[in-house]
């Protein structure tokens, strides 16, 4: 009797699970200069396949359903996706992304984290040929003889929002706004040129940001961020240079974990040693000079930042941030203010205050180059 009861329960459970469907909770898209990213929030262990033809990319999900409240989020068009369609094949769902060209297609899954509670399926449509854009043009050596080139990195972006303010501000947005103002300000000068690592709301892997600096023959790398802690009273700017030895403060350790956890948002982060371009550059013995120059740059920028508002630490701090590992390039990370402080959050969203921050950083950049030139 016990055997038959067990068998009956097993059959009931099997039928119950057979009727369950995988839920596709939501859809997001991010358009970058060289790729479009599709993100689907789904359940763990969803059964899916991704295939590509000349004019479409097909996502098939076994025994699936789409929520009515997010159904409209599925449909998207940009320079790569001409239109999106959804079809049913029995219980399975077929999502078709009709494309305007042939693209390299990559896909992978991401685990839930503090900002995303669902498992995520990511599909990247990547251009086969690199494009040049006016806002992020490639600076050729012949175009700018002996010119100083500053790469300005707007932290986070796309699927990675960064820290969130008490009133809903996203760090990625204020970072980009300040970074754009800084680049525009720098480019008004005669002897310094500046470019952005990202010019819109999309994600760039951390080591790719380093590669951008190296390929553009940068003479300086500035990464723009906004601080956040649980306390809403913390305030002030901070400047960081690289520490690879782990001799850092508790706050710096927390920031390292936050800023370096890019694989939670942008895909499997490229390991520096696997990138042949960076691997070659990392054999350069200029690390010591870079660290000295970065510390000097941090000190000079902090002096200018302290003239326009409060600072959290009166001296430059050190942390093991991936984006500061450009060999031979003075590199600093500027935490402009605490977005977790409502008053400072309002400041970070104020265009005039953003410009004041950009102007202070620019003055620090000019002062640094003046000091360096007198030392030659």
Asked if residue 266 and residue 147 are part of one domain, the reply reads yes
pLDDT of residue 136: 44
Task: Please say whether the dihedral angle defined by the alpha carbons of residues 349, 351, 356 and 362, taken in this order, is positive or negative.
Answer: positive
The reported pLDDT for the residue numbered 244 is 65
Q: Is residue 150 part of a domain?
A: yes
The rounded distance, in Å, linking the Cα atoms of 347 and 181 is: 15
Q: Clarify whether residues 103 and 154 are in a common domain.
A: no
Q: What is the CATH number of the domain that holds 187?
A: 3.40.630.40
Question: Comparing C-alpha atoms, which of 325, 243, 242 is closest to residue 284?
Answer: 325
The answer to whether residue 12 sits within a structural domain is: no
Task: Give how many domains the chain has, as a whole number.
Answer: 2
β-pair type (81-89, 92-99): antiparallel
Please report, for the domain that includes residue 66, its CATH number: 2.60.40.3500
Residues 54 and 70 reside in one and the same domain: yes
This prediction has a pTM of 0.83
SS3 labels along the chain: CHHHHHHHHHHHHHHHHHHCCEEECEEEEEECCCEEEEEEEECCCCCEEEEECCCEEEEEECCEEECCCCHHHHCCCCCCEEEEEEEEECCEEEEEEEECCCCEEEEEEECCCCCCCCEEEEEEEECCCCCCCHHHCCCCCCCCCCCEEEEEEECCECCECCCECCCCCEHHHHHHHHHHHHHHHHCCCCCEEEEECCCCCCCCCHHHHHHHHHHCCCCEEEEEEEECCCCCCCCCEEEEEECCCCCCCHHHHHHHHHHCCHHHCCCCCCCHHHCHHHHHHCCCCCHHHHHHHHHHHHHHHHHHHCCCCCECCCCCEEECCHHHCCCCCCEEEEEEEECCCHHHHHHHCCHHHHHHHHHHHHHHHHHHHHHHHHHC
The answer to the question of residue 14 being in a domain is no
Location of structure tokens 């693209």: 103
- The answer to whether residues 120 and 139 belong to one domain is no
User: Where does a domain end: 85, 101, 126?
Assistant: 126
Tell me, yes or no, whether 150 and 255 share the same domain. Answer: yes
Instruction: Find tokens 């970058």 and name the residue.
Output: 32
Alpha-carbon radius of gyration of the chain: 24
Q: Tell me, yes or no, whether 80 and 202 share the same domain.
A: no
CB 335 within 8 A of CB 309: no
Instruction: Please tell me whether residues 116 and 186 are part of one structural domain.
Output: no
| Domain residue limits at 163 | 134-375
Question: Can you give the pLDDT at residue 255?
Answer: 60
10 located within any domain: no
Which pLDDT value is given to residue 253? 58
- Mean pLDDT, the chain cut into blocks of 10 residues (376 residues total): 45 47 95 95 94 95 96 96 95 96 94 90 91 45 62 95 93 98 96 96 91 92 94 94 68 58 50 48 59 94 96 92 86 96 97 98 96 80
Q: Do 55 and 199 share a domain, yes or no?
A: no
In this structure, the answer to whether residues 69 and 204 fall within a common structural domain is no
* 56 and 144 housed in the same domain: no
Q: Are residues 48 and 189 in the same domain?
A: no
């Amino acid at each position: 009797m016990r055997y038959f009861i067990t068998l009956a329960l097993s059959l009931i459970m099997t039928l119950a699970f057979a009727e369950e469907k995988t839920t596709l909770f939501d859809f997001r898209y991010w358009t970058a200069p060289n790729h479009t990213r599709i993100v689907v929030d789904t359940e763990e262990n969803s059964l899916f396949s991704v295939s590509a033809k000349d004019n479409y990319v097909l996502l098939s999900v076994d025994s699936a359903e789409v929520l009515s409240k997010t159904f409209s989020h599925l449909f998207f068009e940009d320079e790569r996706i001409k239109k999106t369609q959804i079809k049913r094949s029995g219980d399975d769902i077929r999502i078709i992304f009709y494309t305007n060209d042939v693209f390299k297609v990559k896909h992978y899954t991401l685990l839930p984290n503090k900002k995303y509670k669902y498992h995520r399926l990511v599909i990247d449509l990547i251009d086969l040929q690199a494009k040049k854009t006016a806002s992020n043009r490639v600076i050729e050596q012949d175009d700018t003889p002996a010119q100083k080139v500053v790469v300005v990195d707007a932290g986070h972006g796309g699927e990675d929002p960064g820290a969130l303010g008490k009133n809903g501000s996203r760090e990625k947005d204020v970072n980009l706004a300040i970074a754009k103002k800084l680049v525009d300000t720098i480019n008004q000068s005669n002897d310094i040129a500046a470019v952005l690592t990202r010019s819109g709301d999309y994600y760039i892997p951390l080591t790719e940001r380093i590669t951008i600096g190296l390929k553009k023959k940068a003479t300086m790398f500035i990464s723009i961020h906004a601080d956040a802690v649980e306390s809403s009273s913390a305030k002030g700017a901070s400047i960081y240079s690289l520490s690879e030895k782990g001799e850092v403060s508790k706050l710096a350790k927390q920031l390292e974990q936050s800023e370096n956890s890019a694989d939670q948002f942008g895909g499997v982060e490229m390991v520096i040693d696997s990138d042949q371009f960076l691997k070659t550059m990392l054999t350069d013995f200029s690390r010591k000079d870079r660290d000295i120059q970065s510390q000097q740059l941090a000190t000079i920028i902090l002096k200018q930042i302290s003239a326009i508002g409060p600072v959290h630490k009166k001296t430059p701090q050190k942390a093991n941030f991936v984006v500061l590992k450009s060999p031979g390039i003075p590199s600093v990370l500027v935490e402009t203010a605490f977005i977790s402080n409502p008053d400072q959050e309002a400041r970070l969203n104020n265009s005039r205050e953003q410009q004041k921050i950009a102007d202070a950083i620019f003055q620090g950049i000019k002062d640094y180059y003046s000091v360096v030139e007198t030392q030659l």
